[in-house]
Amino acid sequence: MPQKVYMLCGVPGSGKSWVASGLPEYTYVSHDAHKTGYVDKIAEAAASSDKPILADCPFAERELRSQLEKRGLVVEPKFIVEHPLVVKQRYEAREGKPVSKSTLTRARTIVEKADEWAAYRGTAEQVKEHLKKYAK
């Protein structure tokens, strides 16, 4: 059976890295650590890990999902949906600069993508608890 990849979708500051750091029973492939060759890194992790794979996706969800599925991986998106003010506070605390208006707009509309895909969605805390059910 092909390895499953749980794709953590959410805007910068939504809590993707925080969720992943709280799930040591997964192999986490960080987009921030692998901006080039990201699909290759996820595929390598899926081929070599006996743990479920978490891959974060701050944008271009459809493209990443398509590329992973072309490699024979089963992709299950999980959407982190936080209020734009929460995103703003987290992002600015982490980055030390203002969050972009496009990120805040996307924080309001990302729920539409989750609904389009009939994917699980919730706050960072809810997504973390939800993913604990899938850990082996």
Q: Sign of the CA dihedral 117, 122, 123, 126?
A: negative
In the prediction, which pLDDT does 34 show? 72
Burial of 15 (0-12, 13-18, 19+ CB in 10 A): buried
Mean pLDDT in residue range 1-11: 88
pLDDT tens digit string along 53-112? 999 998 889 999 999 999 999 999 999 999 999 999 999 999 999 999 999 999 989 999
Domain membership of residue 96 as a residue range: 4-132
Cα within 13 Å of Cα(87), Cβ side: 23
3-state helix, strand, coil in the chain (%, to 5): 45, 20, 35
Average confidence score pLDDT of the chain: 93
Asked if the model's pLDDT at residue 133 lies above 80, the reply is: yes
Q: What is the pTM of this model?
A: 0.92
Could you give the residue ranges of the DSSP H alpha helices within the chain? 16-21, 38-48, 61-70, 84-95, 101-116, 124-132
Asked if the model's pLDDT at residue 136 lies above 80, the reply is: no
- Based on the structure, what is the number of domains in the chain? 1
CATH number at residue 92: 3.40.50.300
